[in-house]
Amino acid sequence: METPWFAERPVGEVRPGDHGWLAYSGSEERDQVIGTFVREGLRTTEKVVYVTDAPAHRLPGVGPRHGIDVDAYSRAGQLRVISRRDACLDRRGGFEPAMMLDTLGREVDKAFDEGFRAVRLTTDYSWLLKPPGPPDLARMLGCEHRVGDAVSPSTMAMAICQIDRHALRPDELAALRDTHEVLVEVNPEYDDGILKIVRTFEPDGLRLEGELDAARHSVFAEQLAQVSTDRRRVHLDLSRLGFIDLGGLHLMARHATGLPAGEPLVLDHLAPDVENVIEMVGWHRLPGLVRGGRRTSPDPEGIT
């Protein structure tokens, strides 16, 4: 497999020039990523431009719960919500890529004139791909290439294109993804340079990266407990875990035995060094842990 040419980036590290892609599995994932994108922009006095038909106070990441006063930011011109009709629909209500590009260009220029140092643009394209009409993928691809061309050289614009991953076939999704340079995901729950813990949504669970050892057992246990609420089956993506200590295996097994009867903790995509230790002791000595998916090469966002 070719090395992916795009960058993977937590939403907190998206920066000007990034034409980002978020294929979300559900509203929980979308709200976490886009909510962070919106909120961090507003808090750092960057401009946020959201193309949507939803009212401002229904946007992800805003509202009193997050300490964001939508009306104040709207009045100050820092938050701008543009309806689809105004942003990118022609007179017959059809999607018009050229109009979308004009809108983006105009908003970036305006933000510059207003003195903002950066502008964050985002919209959810899923509605374009859902019935009644057939998904006009070619039109979207063309649009996205041009958006990329517009954003990438910019020193102040950054964009995240949202797509409901279930709105397209996997090959279509991959084609659309490939028009973006940056794959955006949630901010890690924990990252100390040795161990990184990232929430995953489809399947629900955590991705562990780096090394899990005694100094990091408690933070891992805490994250594991948090994600294990709501009676959902939890998967751990271990494709990037290079080391696990024996206490870490003990911890996972202990957690799994506390799950509702018969509900396992699924270990996906075991990296070779971790798999070796598990096979050395034998899966049957790790009650409640089961082997899940196997993947040998990295597959960003698990599209294929």
Binding residues vs other proteins (CB under 8 A): 194, 211, 213-215, 243, 245-247, 249-250, 253-254, 257, 273, 276-277, 279-282, 284-287
Q: Could you give the CA distance from residue 3 to residue 115 in angstroms, rounded to a whole number?
A: 39
CB of 254 to other proteins, least distance (A): 6
Structure tokens at 108: 């970036």
Q: For residue 235, list its beta bridge partners.
A: 205, 266
- Considering beta carbons, is residue 171 or 273 the nearer one to other proteins? 273
Q: How far is the CB of 257 from other proteins (least distance, A)?
A: 7
**Contact between residue 36 and residue 11 where contact means Cβ atoms under 8 Å apart:** yes
d(CA 114, CA 149): 23
φ, ψ (nearest 5 deg) of residue 257: -70, -15
3-state helix vs strand vs coil in the chain, percent to 5: 40, 25, 35
Q: Closest CB to other proteins among 66 and 217?
A: 217
Contact present, 154 and 81 (Cβ < 8 Å): no
Residue whose CB is less far from other proteins, 204 or 209 = 209
Which residue, 170 or 287, has its beta carbon nearer to other proteins?
287
Nearer to other proteins, 75 or 250 (CB): 250
- Least Cβ distance, residue 241 to other proteins (angstroms): 13
